[in-house]
Amino acid sequence: MIDAATPHVVCPAIKTGRLPVFQALLERGVMHEASSSIFPSITPAATSAIATGAYPCEHGIAGASWYDSVKQEVAYYGDDFWVIAREGLRNFLEDFLLRLNGDRLKAPTLFQMIERTGRRAACLNYLVFKGDCEHDVRIPGAIAALPGAPLSESVLGPSVLALGDFVVPRWSSGRKLDKKGGLLHRFGMDDASTGVMLREILERDALPDFTIAYFADNDYVSHKIGPFAALTVVERIDRMLGDAFEAGGGIDRVLAETTVVITSDHGHCDIANEEDAAIHLDRHLAEFRQAELGRPWRERDEIMICPNMRATQIYLRQPVPEVVERIAATLLTDPRVDQVMWRTELTRRDAAGYTVSSRRGRLEFARAKASTSGNDVFGNAWTWSGDAGAVTLEAEGRTISFTDYPNAFERIAGALDLEQSGEIWCTAKAGCEFEVPGGEAHLGGASHGALHALDSLSPVIVAGGAVRPVLPAHMRLVDIAPLCMQLLGLPMRYRVGDPRDQTIAGSPRS
């Protein structure tokens, strides 16, 4: 899993030979260039979707920032380690190690589904590692010296769990798995560490039945300089994979026994290097008393803003129709705001479905038991009315598709049906990002989180195994887990390409 591997950058680089190992895999396999992510297209929610095969309404992870009404606290999984350190490293580590992979994650992971059949699985630095085997956590000295940092803990993961300097697996001989660590390697959570571990496992012919190896650096660098300039990071990953295959006896020997799947969690949208590319929602909504960023409700607060880069969810203390409509109208006075979305029942009592409002018009849509309006390419049946331009909906006969906002209906439902979702979601137009007090937009770099295709598409490469793989014409991030289970010959509640009606599959908002 290569974080933020953007297909309009990576796929041409593969075809032109700039990524020779990826190209060699493609020559022996198949590539899908436009697998659609979930919404919000942001790492904690998207990596959870890969690991579970579920949308947020089922797996429970609402983005990078959301309000947990049960715990009455804001969950935050941001991208700035040092901001986290200043705000309280103990809370973040406990949240990441114990909560994100504990009670916050509601759906079973691939690690659990696979190991409950008696097989073995491994996680190399992947953020979503929930499993059934207990592992001790050691806090590196440089972190333990910070005030409030925990000294030790245990977590539940797969049989083989490697989380940087925090969890280091041992071979049966007792020797620890090789890796790179320390401050210069983000305490063992960077690409160099993942690459070394993957190489050693292949060299020792010690791959279990299923392994996820996570390469995170491309996302960090793309945020700063954009996905085109960050391609050098993907080139390093290509070389690391080549080294790992050589250590395992060569690419053909590895692929004779192993199926390799390469994908990403989302893409990246370039952000203009101009101050007005940053949208300040707190200023737009200044008429409302706002909860402090990242803090629980105070007695007189009216709204809570939880930023997710190019998407933001807004919680309302009193979600009456007048307030929803006023906020939507206010936000859309800014031409940099793309869409405002909510469950239609908030503005029309007892109405089913979802509303998307934009400067291109307003559209309402809902699930249908039978196709009275049309089916999307995954077989979900929908009814809709209003302005198709709000989500660039196109209909050909009874089949509907979306140009700029891939798989829009299913993805919007997959977020808004989550119990912990904000009442309102809004997205930024391409080239823009939301900025909040204490944070900075990625001006001159890139970002993601929105419904737009630039944020939402990933490549999928599959190679190896006994039979040359075949991928469907249309793919989604939530199809990766069913694909892996299928390759292992194991059953799962979903198959690749299955329609996702969360009102049946998950636990939607009541």
| Structure confidence by residue, pLDDT tens digits, 11-21 | 999 999 999 99
Instruction: Locate 240 and state its tokens.
Output: 């690391």
Predicted confidence at residue 470, as pLDDT, reads 86
Q: What long-range pairs does 361-370 form, CB within 8 A, spacing at least 24?
A: 361/386, 361/387, 361/389, 361/390, 362/386, 362/387, 362/390, 363/387, 363/388, 363/390, 363/391, 363/393, 365/409, 367/413, 367/501, 367/503
Predicted confidence at residue 377, as pLDDT, reads 94
Residue (of 346, 307, 354, 305) closest to 502 by Cα position:
354
Predicted confidence at residue 81, as pLDDT, reads 46
Predicted confidence at residue 509, as pLDDT, reads 47
Amino acid at 139: I
Dump pLDDT digits (tens) for 322-353.
Answer: 999 999 999 999 999 999 999 999 999 999 99
Q: Are the CB atoms for 222 and 216 separated by under 8 Å? A: no
Q: Where are the domains of the chain?
A: 275-447
| Segments of the chain with pLDDT less than 70 | 78-93, 141-152, 171-185, 370-372, 438, 502-510
Predicted confidence at residue 508, as pLDDT, reads 41
Q: Are the CB atoms for 125 and 88 separated by under 8 Å? A: no
Predicted confidence at residue 494, as pLDDT, reads 95
Where does residue 249 fall: left (phi above 0), alpha (psi -120 to 50 degrees), or beta otherwise? left
Predicted confidence at residue 90, as pLDDT, reads 62
Predicted confidence at residue 507, as pLDDT, reads 42
Q: Is the pTM of this model over 0.75?
A: yes
